[in-house]
Structure 1
Amino acid sequence: MKKWYKNIYIIILIIFGVWMIFFDTNSFINHNDVNQEQNKLEEEKEYYKKEIIKDKKAIKKLSDKDGLETFAREKYYMKKENEDIYIIEYQDSLKTKDNE
């Protein structure tokens, strides 16, 4: 019985396997990198789909006159004539040197 390391077919098979796993253009390592990149891009795709849905809701809300008025009052502190606005700030929402 011949030793396995003296068999030329086994040696060629081992060399071929090592070549395909590490050195070939389509190696296992390259496939792994491409799969990780694909997973990352799929996650980004889902994130952006959710952001698009959220933005569409905001646009729909701002297309209404009442929604636009509410946005202007909350973000830019706009007011109607003969109306006073009081801004209440809590201690934890103020910017101080400690929490900057």
Structure 2
Amino acid sequence: MNTLQMLLNKLPGPLRNRYFFALLCFFALMVFFDRHDVLTQIRLQRMVNKLEDDKAYYTKKIEEAKQERLDMDANKERFARERYYMKQQDEDVYIIVEE
């Protein structure tokens, strides 16, 4: 007997079946070598999760900006004093920087 035949005889019965071997090859092809393989799907899912987190972050920032704009429209003098350190002529402004 040749060595290939001896190796095939040592394998259990289900592994010697040619349909099982074809199914195993097809499964390996689909899992590791296909365009939509498992590693690509994991990478894409991570990217989707990151983009969803970014979307939530920017949605929150947009809401904060809208609230700030409404606050600025309602109280322009306070906004100018806090942001641009504007003052009236008869007063002094002291800037306190917290560390």
Instruction: Give the TM-score of the pair, scaled to structure 1.
Output: 0.77
Q: Deviations over 1:12-44 (max 9, x none)?
A: 111111111100011111111111111110111
Instruction: Give the TM-score of the pair, scaled to structure 2.
Output: 0.78
User: Between the two proteins, what is the percent identity of the paired residues?
Assistant: 34
- Residue type of the alignment partner of 1:34: L
Distance 1:88 1:52 in 2: 28
> What aligned pairs does 1:1-100 form with structure 2 within 5 A after superposition?
3-64=13-74, 67-85=75-93, 87=94, 89=96, 93=99
Structure 2: gaps (5+ residues): 1-11
Question: Root-mean-square deviation (CA), in Å?
Answer: 1.8
Distance 2:42 2:95 in 1: 54
Query: Alignment partner of 2:48: what SS?
Result: helix
Query: Deviating runs (4+, > 4 A) in structure 1?
Result: none
Structure with bigger gyration radius: 2
Structure 1: gaps (5+ residues): 94-100
